[in-house]
Amino acid sequence: MAYEKQKQKKKNLNQKKLNFRKINWVFIFLIVIFLIIWFLFQPLDVKKLDIRFEVGERLGVVLDGENLDFGRVLAGSSSVKTVSIENNFDFLIKVEVFVDRRLKDFIFAEPEISIDSGEVINLPINLILPDDIEKGNYSGGLRFEFRKER
């Protein structure tokens, strides 16, 4: 009788070990699948561009090569700046453009564009201000995510 109990305990222990191994393999498999999916959807590159403008009573110009600065603008007016984007990859890419939520009511750009290998495009960035916008300084940014076109 004691032999049967000992045999049953050993069988139960082996079954628990087998179940634990199965759980480990399933867990490892899920991690591998997650990593593959995560890497597939990661952008090739991400660039950020700061945007600034001031709403005032008269126009003003600012020259800044690092940022997209619209300078001093009037309420109810609009302005356009262009951003040059070059595809240095040897395949077609998709560029997704995201406007900072602080500027989403004023800054407008094409949300998604495709660029052939070696091609350079000039993307217009539009600033459109309502008549009732408050005077002051506004800032935020654009984020460009570069992805392989699928």
pLDDT, tens digit, for every residue of 99-109?
A: 999 999 999 99
Instruction: Please state, for a pLDDT cut of 70, what percent of the chain lies above it.
Output: 85
| Region 127-135 average pLDDT | 96
Task: Note whether 68 and 81 are within 8 A (CB).
Answer: yes
Task: Note whether 49 and 142 are within 8 A (CB).
Answer: yes
Question: pLDDT band for position 50 (50/70/90)?
Answer: very high
Lowest mean pLDDT segment, chosen from 63-77, 95-109, 110-124? 63-77
| Distance in angstroms (rounded) separating the CA atoms of residues 75 and 53 | 11
| Distance in angstroms (rounded) separating the CA atoms of residues 127 and 125 | 7
| Region 21-48 average pLDDT | 84
Per DSSP, the three-state class of 19 is: helix
Question: pLDDT band for position 61 (50/70/90)?
Answer: low
pLDDT at 136 over 90: yes
CA dihedral of residues 112, 146, 148, 40 (deg, nearest 10): -110
pTM of the model: 0.73
